[in-house]
Chains A and B, each alone.
Chain A
Amino acid sequence: MSTRLSIAGLSFGYPGRTVGTDVTFALEAGEILCLLGPNGGGKTTLFRTILGLVPALAGTVAIDGADIVHWNARRRALAMGYVPQSGGGSFAFTVRDIVLMGRSAHRGTFAPPASEDYDAADAAMERLGILDRADRDWLRISGGERQLALIARALAQEPRVMILDEPTANLDFGNQVRVMEQVRGLARAGLAVLFSTHHPEQAFAAASRVAMLHQGRLARIGTPDEVITEDGMRLVYGIDVEVVAVAGIKVCLPLDWR
């Protein structure tokens, strides 16, 4: 195991408005870190800062030990893949065209995709089970298919770190399960995976570690069992839950539901 991504003393936000401070954690190859936190709590801003889409206010982001602050967009993209909450734009590209865009960092500014780029895109779609959707119109596939295609696009990018922002938001139950299975597959393939969610059971099912973002700080970080507790859920979400095991898998049951 080697440390892929290390975040040290990271403060993030926008000029005049600090969203989070002093975030420190490390992520190894093959590991899945799940980020929990309330709506508007800064999860997306933290991801954008790690990706270099907004400058960090303080602290460092390092990949394989190298500070990436001076890396250009292409070098970052070769190291980190990003699956935004909703993406792909609003033009009627084919799914293959969208996935192929994941190869942008692998070719020159003026160069058309080479056949290995097409192969990488097709292989990524096949892996996510959407190759039969390759020629479909982006605006006419389901939300679940789009999410899988965005993961395929990030996979075609061949990064070492994969960052997914609420990959199961707006998906039906079946697609949530399918997408989470793919997230686990990414880690099995050796990627360091960082994802956010609002479903603690996804953390129990998929994550090797869980971090809780509360009032701009990482309030808790550790194994799912250590972090997702009655106490932790009350702190971050302000609700009382009971953590119960069902068929060996833990879930959070809100007390109000009983």
Chain B
Amino acid sequence: MPRPRRRSDARATAAFLGALAVLAVLGILALQVGAYPVTPSELWAVLSGRAHGINATVIYAIRGPRILGAMLVGAALSSAGAAYQSLFRNPLVSPDILGVSSGAALGAVLGILLGLPVGAIEVASFAGGIAAMALVYGVAVAIRGHDPLMGSGVALVKFLADPENQLPAITFWLLGSLASFNRSDLMALAPPVAIGLVPLVLLRWRLDVMTLGDEEARALGVEVALLRLGIVASATLMTAAAVSVSGVVGWIGLVVPHLARLIVGPAFRRLLPLTAVLGAAFLLAVDTLARNAGGVEVPLGVLTAVLGTPVFLWLMAAARRVGS
């Protein structure tokens, strides 16, 4: 017997398609604006394969990868945030609060300090993120705010860095940036994000049960420990991959899942798609702003904090009104 479609499903589908449309429009706009503006007709010529000059280079080699990168980083951080929030039954956790971002940052900063090549820096960032999560997980201080250890590690590295060359790179990068993002970064980013996303999609029903807490979930027949390990590993992989190319971009993993949950509710099968698309749209908008507002690039972390804080306060107020 086919299930009758329910109103909440229809609403979730509408929200998802709406968000997708917003993302598409943002993407087309972002391709046009920048230090070297491209008009809509020029863009069309490039995309339809009729133009090959400097416009094509700008679109395919510079702007296109960066736009896709912003989308992927935004989707990855938001999806990881949604998973952490369901798993830890706490709507106030996010990758940055759990210390994963800081851990990944510590790994990458150490890589910069040691003068490692880009690929090795990404590996170091991965390792840092996983190590931070393992630490947080192991010590079970998951929900108690920033992990002081990671913060002091980053501070120590700053102290050791060469102030002429390494320190500006490290500092700017710690605030989050896609300024140097290129095609090879995109190739490094996409696979781990995809690999991390698959378990979250597959475990969407189990993630709902996990929001009940360990005891209740186990009484319902769910193998909690194994499941938690798999979900944490997936979300951490996505976070570490994002941080390794973009630096620490805060707030997004906290705010976007909240916003999505207000629209479609907490059921992960509806929450995850909307969170991913909204996260992609949010970071694309922020990154486009970052490379167009002002003479120099504004760090992403600064913008997401400036935009994220009021949005978050508004969300908290809205959540209180609807009683969730």
A residues apposed to B, CB below 8 Å: 48, 51-53, 72-78, 80, 82, 84, 87-94, 97, 101-102, 104-105, 107, 109-113, 115, 118-119, 135, 137, 139-140, 153, 157
Give 3 nearest A-B pairs by CB, closest first: A105-B221, A77-B221, A91-B266
Q: Is B67 an interface residue (CB 8 A)?
A: no
**Is A101 within 8 A of B209, CB to CB?**
yes
Which residues in A have their C-beta under 8 angstroms from that of B86? 91
Extra 15 A-B pairs, beta carbons < 8 Å, given A89-B216, A91-B261 = A53-B218, A73-B219, A76-B219, A87-B212, A89-B211, A89-B212, A92-B261, A93-B267, A104-B221, A104-B222, A105-B222, A115-B2, A137-B323, A139-B323, A140-B323
Q: How far is the CA of A157 from the CA of B323 in the complex (A)?
A: 29
CB B229 to nearest CB in A, in angstroms, measures 13
**Is A48 within 8 A of B266, CB to CB?**
no
User: Which of B7, B267, B322 makes the CB contact (< 8 A) with A135?
Assistant: B7
User: Which of B1, B211, B222, B227 makes the CB contact (< 8 A) with A115?
Assistant: B1
**Is A74 within 8 A of B223, CB to CB?**
yes
Which residues in B have their C-beta under 8 angstroms from that of A53? 215, 218-219
Q: Is B8 an interface residue (CB 8 A)?
A: yes
Which residues in B have their C-beta under 8 angstroms from that of A101? 208-209, 212, 220
What per-residue 1/0 map shows which CB atoms of B102-125 lie under 8 Å from chain A? 000000000000000000000000
Find the A residue at minimum CB distance from B266.
Answer: A91
**Is A93 within 8 A of B265, CB to CB?**
yes
Which residues in B have their C-beta under 8 angstroms from that of A74? 221-223
Which residues in B have their C-beta under 8 angstroms from that of A107? 205
User: Which of B3, B89, B205, B261 makes the CB contact (< 8 A) with A118?
Assistant: B3
User: Which of A82, A91, A93, A118 makes the CB contact (< 8 A) with B219?
Assistant: A82
Find the A residue at minimum CB distance from B324.
Answer: A92
Which residues in B have their C-beta under 8 angstroms from that of A115? 1-3
**Is A110 within 8 A of B3, CB to CB?**
no
CB A79 to nearest CB in B, in angstroms, measures 10
Most chain B CB inside 10 Å of its own CB: which residue of A90, A137, A153: A90
Which residues in A have their C-beta under 8 angstroms from that of B3? 115, 118
Q: Is B206 an interface residue (CB 8 A)?
A: yes
**Is A104 within 8 A of B7, CB to CB?**
no
Q: How far is the CA of A102 from the CA of B219 in the complex (A)?
A: 9
Q: Is B202 an interface residue (CB 8 A)?
A: yes
Q: How far is the CA of A76 from the CA of B221 in the complex (A)?
A: 7
What per-residue 1/0 map shows which CB atoms of B181-215 lie under 8 Å from chain A? 00000000000000000000011011011011101
**Is A112 within 8 A of B205, CB to CB?**
yes
CB A52 to nearest CB in B, in angstroms, measures 8
Q: How far is the CA of A243 from the CA of B265 in the complex (A)?
A: 50
Which residues in B have their C-beta under 8 angstroms from that of A76? 219, 221
CB A131 to nearest CB in B, in angstroms, measures 14
Which residues in B have their C-beta under 8 angstroms from that of A80? 219
Q: How far is the CA of A93 from the CA of B211 in the complex (A)?
A: 10
Q: How far is the CA of A82 from the CA of B218 in the complex (A)?
A: 10
Find the A residue at minimum CB distance from B219.
Answer: A82
Instruction: Decide yes or no: A77 and B219 within 8 Å by CB, A135-B7, A139-B324 being known contacts.
Output: yes
Q: Is B5 an interface residue (CB 8 A)?
A: no
Which residues in B have their C-beta under 8 angstroms from that of A110? 202-203
CB B139 to nearest CB in A, in angstroms, measures 20
CB B48 to nearest CB in A, in angstroms, measures 40
Q: Is B50 an interface residue (CB 8 A)?
A: no
Q: Is B6 an interface residue (CB 8 A)?
A: yes
Which residues in A have their C-beta under 8 angstroms from that of B266? 91-93
CB B219 to nearest CB in A, in angstroms, measures 4
**Is B215 within 8 A of A104, CB to CB?**
no
Q: How far is the CA of A115 from the CA of B3 in the complex (A)?
A: 7
Which residues in A have their C-beta under 8 angstroms from that of B219? 51, 53, 73, 76-77, 80, 82, 84
CB A71 to nearest CB in B, in angstroms, measures 10
Q: What would 13 A/B residue contacts be, using CB atoms closer than 8 Å?
A: A52-B218, A73-B221, A73-B223, A75-B221, A84-B216, A84-B219, A89-B212, A91-B86, A92-B265, A101-B212, A105-B222, A110-B202, A112-B269
User: Which of A72, A89, A104 makes the CB contact (< 8 A) with B213?
Assistant: A89
Most chain A CB inside 10 Å of its own CB: which residue of B3, B203, B324: B324
Most chain B CB inside 10 Å of its own CB: which residue of A73, A111, A157: A73
Within 8 A of A (CB), among B201-252: 202-203, 205-206, 208-209, 211-213, 215-216, 218-224, 227
Find the B residue at minimum CB distance from A140.
Answer: B323
